[in-house]
Chains A and B, each alone.
Chain A
């Protein structure tokens, strides 16, 4: 054999399409039917919240004292235009649940977005730069973790007074440490990998390495954790509202609806039960969908 032919001629074809890891994971998620079904449920809730004015049969705050404690449609005394019955002030429970979804979903999403953004920045800085930055941030995280979540939230709300943004702040103040810890851990591992070393060898700056090399590779577990936490936050908001510290009447929140019905739970069980079921259904769907997300996207859980 004479001089070997140029290597370019003999390297076999790569597969037809460029397939990023993200697309591959998306395909895995789509194949998980239970997760997809749950994701659909979540999407339905979101749509319900967004399109509330069009979907709700009645005004959620419209009181009608003739309809106080009216039972749901399938029980004697009920009517289908007020399908799930009415509460102590004659307001339609179904409409209030639909509008209540807005509160839960909005607050849940807002808290998670704020917490994740802060958490990513803090975690990246702490994990990559190390040194005193890491020491300071880690101590703050440790201190915040020491405070009991709900009690501190209650205290904050008592100090700040009610209001939508106050609730978001009160819940986010501690929530950010969770993504921060995940990001920090992943950053500590990723910064030792060879492709990060390669970027340094090429002359990349710290910013480039943190945002373009490390961050894309650690987003998966962060997103998974955040979606799981969303469910927690929704329950926390419901708890705050249940205690009267959340959104104030007459705005409907599932938690406050449950509280309202407590006094007469034996006679008019529907007033507390349906909002409770709404919480259950949404949280369950989010949990199952995020498990599916984790199985598909989190590299730590992949074979």
Chain B
């Protein structure tokens, strides 16, 4: 396997709160190959967003990255100064947020916000003056056109609130992709959108990915989205990765009881007439977690051996599971 584009090992991010230390991400390994689409599935408290906020260097006090290496194309992101990190953010790696309305600055026009990215990162533009402004404008209009917003030139002058939710999400994607990053992290890009708009936005991301040869990390709680758009999937629970592998395999044959429970409990027409088997209980409190399997209290298969820390095990080529009942230990 060639060197992955993004290689995160042993990431540990904590938050200090009055009630105690919350370990939001605990020993997470992520790798993203060039050109692939990785889906990250998890619920509240799983650590999926914090993991990638850490990669982007966006974790601020009272949170901090306690351990781990983050390599983007071989470059150690944790070792960069804030100034160097700013040069990377937006240029090599970009992120879109869930709520486009609050992520976009309501006081700036859309054109100004896309222009910010070019201004910060694009060295191919003329140095200054009207030529620079014009070049930026042209490139911005091109980006809006790329994401499917008609009459791009005139819309550059409009403000975010003048657009619908789906369009705002596209604008965020345009801003993220302006400098053709190698990696796009899309954090819940469709959660706040209607179903028909969701479909449009996901199609867009997939198209652009193919066209630009970009890697995409799709963070979502929706297994359906992952099933249709992601090559590989990583399931997270309570700050740890519990299962990972090619999407089709993970969905067809989930190895971890949590993944199985999730898949079995999603209400859908195919299950009409049968009672749902929900996963009982709740995500455990992330403060002061005992060193054992974190899914223990909700697992139908738990036993005494699960009361010790569980490491990732190999369950096939490219498949890993954090459960002693599946797979083989990794050397």
Say if the two chains contact directly (CB < 8 Å). Answer: yes
> Distance (Å) between the CB of B277 and the closest chain A CB?
6
Chain B residues with Cβ under 8 A from A5's Cβ? Answer: 280
A9-52: which residues lie under 8 A (CB-CB) from chain B? 10-12
Taking the complex as formed, is B79 at the interface, i.e. its CB lies under 8 A from any CB of chain A?
A: no
Chain B residues with Cβ under 8 A from A77's Cβ? Answer: none
Residue pair B275, A12 in contact (C-beta under 8 Å): no
Residue pair A4, B277 in contact (C-beta under 8 Å): yes
Bits for B63-84, please: 1 = Cβ < 8 Å to A, else 0: 0000000000000000000000
Residue pair B275, A11 in contact (C-beta under 8 Å): no
Residue pair A4, B281 in contact (C-beta under 8 Å): no
Taking the complex as formed, is A146 at the interface, i.e. its CB lies under 8 A from any CB of chain B?
A: no
Instruction: Kindly count the residue-residue contacts between A and B in the assembled complex, taking CB atoms under 8 Å apart.
Output: 18
Closest to A28 in B: B18
Residue pair B277, A11 in contact (C-beta under 8 Å): no
Query: What's the Cα separation between A1 and B261 when bound, in Å?
Result: 11
Taking the complex as formed, is B150 at the interface, i.e. its CB lies under 8 A from any CB of chain A?
A: no
Binding site for A on B (CB under 8 A): 275, 277-278, 280-282, 284, 297-298, 300
Chain A residues with Cβ under 8 A from B282's Cβ? Answer: 11-12
> Distance (Å) between the CB of A187 and the closest chain B CB?
26
Query: What's the Cα separation between A7 and B297 when bound, in Å?
Result: 14
Name which of A7, A11, A12 has the most chain B CB atoms within 10 A of its CB.
A12
> Distance (Å) between the CB of B331 and the closest chain A CB?
34
When A and B form their complex, which 8 residue pairs have the shortest distance between CB atoms, in order from nearest?
A10-B280, A10-B281, A1-B300, A4-B277, A1-B277, A12-B282, A4-B280, A4-B278
Closest to B265 in A: A4
Residue pair B280, A12 in contact (C-beta under 8 Å): no
Chain A residues with Cβ under 8 A from B284's Cβ? Answer: 12
Taking the complex as formed, is A193 at the interface, i.e. its CB lies under 8 A from any CB of chain B?
A: no
Residue pair B281, A11 in contact (C-beta under 8 Å): yes
Query: What's the Cα separation between A5 and B300 when bound, in Å?
Result: 11
Query: What's the Cα separation between A252 and B282 when bound, in Å?
Result: 65
A-B contact pairs, 10 of them (CB 8 A): A1-B277, A4-B277, A4-B278, A7-B280, A10-B281, A10-B298, A11-B281, A11-B282, A12-B281, A12-B284
Chain A residues with Cβ under 8 A from B298's Cβ? Answer: 10
> Distance (Å) between the CB of A303 and the closest chain B CB?
11
Chain A residues with Cβ under 8 A from B300's Cβ? Answer: 1
A7-B280, A12-B284 known; 16 new pairs, CB 8 Å cut-off, are A1-B277, A1-B300, A3-B275, A4-B275, A4-B277, A4-B278, A4-B280, A5-B280, A10-B280, A10-B281, A10-B298, A11-B281, A11-B282, A12-B281, A12-B282, A12-B297
Query: What's the Cα separation between A10 and B261 when bound, in Å?
Result: 15
Closest to B283 in A: A12
Query: What's the Cα separation between A3 and B300 when bound, in Å?
Result: 12
Chain A residues with Cβ under 8 A from B275's Cβ? Answer: 3-4
